[in-house]
Structure 1
Amino acid sequence: MKLHKEGYTIILITIIVLVLINLGINYLLPDGYWIPMLAIIGSIFVLLLVVQFFRVPTRVVHKSDRQIVAPCDGKVVVIEEVVETEYFNGPRRQISIFMSPLNVHINWNPVSGVVQYFKYHAGLYLVAWHPKSSTDNERTTVVIRTLEGIDILFRQIAGAAARRIRWYVKEGDQVEQSTEMGFIKFGSRVDIFVPLDAEIKVNLQDKTVGSVTVLAELK
């Protein structure tokens, strides 16, 4: 299993902390048995959880200039018409995907094109499903202009536990659909804003596979 570069430091720190905890338990309870054994089992479980969080999946992708693919793994929690005020200042269809701690947390470019706009916003750490998390939480806003000249906006949004957003794009970059653009550590949400005439291909509660699931198709 391949591990993501964002996990190297956290995995190493986790191993060191767990080793120290187990050494401390064995020192304090030299004649014990069940507690040290339970500590070892618990430590293995915690380490496996952390390692699986940073796994890099193998995906078979099919690129299309008309399709908008999911920028992350997760579950569709919002599909609604909204007024987007940061970039478009007009109505768009918003699709929000909630990422649980068990999901792969790599973020992918939903379309191919040129990054027209990028901005990082410091903010709060409301739970990811809070209605105001999209506008009040720590987040990034990325706009990619497709080859047909259509702007697609999406946001990486931090949650109550996810306070480490990483991004690998900047304004002017030429990006390819389904290639990696960032990472959010330990659970959060991604919002994507598409034109009103785009045909939505998912429903509420649908599970998405990042870089693969088609969210919408452009006219």
Structure 2
Amino acid sequence: MRLHKEGLKMIPLMAILTGGLYALLYWLIPFFIFQVVLAVVAIIFMILVIRFFRNPKVITPPKDGVVYAPAEGKVVVIERVYEGEYHKDDRIQVSIFMSPLNVHVNRSPVKGKVDFFQYHPGKFLVAWHPKSSTDNERTSVGFKTESGVNILMRQIAGAVARRIAFYPKVGDAVEQGTSVGFIRFGSRVDLYLPLDADIKVKIGDLTKGGETKVAQLK
């Protein structure tokens, strides 16, 4: 299993903390059954931590006008909203909720360049909360496609997320489906698309980053 670079420091740290806690409880409560149960819990926890940072290989078929899912998860919002940070007009918002069991690599939804970037400190409401898009810690990333269409991707921290990473800089070229960021431990990604975009998903659909077609641009 290939691991994301965000896990190279976090996994050893979590292993040390888990091992230290296990050793402390092992010494404080010297009951064999408890020690066995504790060992099983520690092993399962570390397996989940390692699995969280998995970085599967994704092959995205390049297609003009197609907007691919930027994340693996579940579509929880499709609605018309006013987007006042980048577009400053009405857009179709498509939101994907990422549980701790999903792959948390964020991928470029289009081919083009990074046109805008802004980090916002904020709260850590649960990621499906209606105000998480505007109140939570988040980054706003504007993409301009090769045909000149602008879309916005917003990475949003959840109740337990404490790190949002976005790697390209403004002006950098990006390819569809390439890894551009990571959100740690449960989160959400919003896309803001033109009103005339043909939305290809519906509420409740499961998506795969760089593979699921979210919309077709006109």
**TM-score relative to the length of structure 1:** 0.96
Q: Distance in 2 between matches of 1:130 and 1:25?
A: 37
Bigger drift between 130-139 and 99-108 goes to 130-139
Secondary structure of 2:6's aligned partner: helix
Q: CA deviation at 1:60?
A: 2.7
| Structure 1 residues 83-162: aligned runs within 5 Å | 83-162=82-161
Q: Which residue of 2 aligns with 1:40?
A: 39
Q: For 2:44, give the aligned amino acid.
A: F
| Segment drifting more, 15-24 vs 42-51 | 15-24
CA distance in 2 between partners of 1:67 and 1:132 (Å): 28
Q: Which amino acid aligns with 2:99?
A: S
Specify the alignment match of 1:210 in structure 2.
Answer: 209
In structure 2, the residue matched to 1:21 is 21
In 1, the alpha carbon distance for the partners of 2:158 and 2:205 equals 21
Q: Secondary structure at the match of 1:5?
A: coil
Unaligned segments of structure 2, at least 5 residues: none
In the TM superposition, what whole-angstrom CA distance separates every residue of 1:160-183 from its partner, at most 9, and x where no partner exists? Answer: 111210110211111111001100
Report the AA paired with residue 215 of structure 2: A
Secondary structure of the residue aligned to 2:42 is: helix
Structure 1 residues 15, 203: closer, same or farther in 2, change over 3 A? same
Superposition CA RMSD, Å: 1.1
Work out the CA distance in 1 between the residues paired with 2:26 and 2:62: 54
Amino acid at match of 2:177: S
Map Cα deviations across residues 83-102 of structure 1 (whole Å, 9 max, x no partner). 11111111111100000010
Percent identity of the aligned residues? 52
AA of the residue aligned to 1:2: R
Structure-2 separation of matches of 1:68 and 1:29: 54
Equivalent-residue separation in structure 2 for 1:133 and 1:26 (angstroms): 40
Asked if 1:72 is matched to 2:65, the reply is no
Measured in 1, the distance between the counterparts of 2:98 and 2:27 equals 40
Per-residue deviation, residues 114-137 of structure 1 (Å, max 9, x unmatched): 111111111111111111111111
Count of residues paired in the alignment: 218
Q: Which amino acid aligns with 2:12?
A: L
Q: Kindly report which structure 2 residues correspond to 1:169-208, keeping only aligned pairs within 5 A, or say none.
A: 169-208=168-207
Aligned partners of 2:23, 2:118: CA distance in 1, in Å?
A: 45
CA distance in 2, matches of 1:139, 1:45: 30
Between 13-22 and 160-169, the greater mean CA deviation after superposition: 13-22
Please report how far the alpha carbon of residue 29 of structure 1 lies from its aligned counterpart in structure 2 after TM superposition.
Answer: 4.1
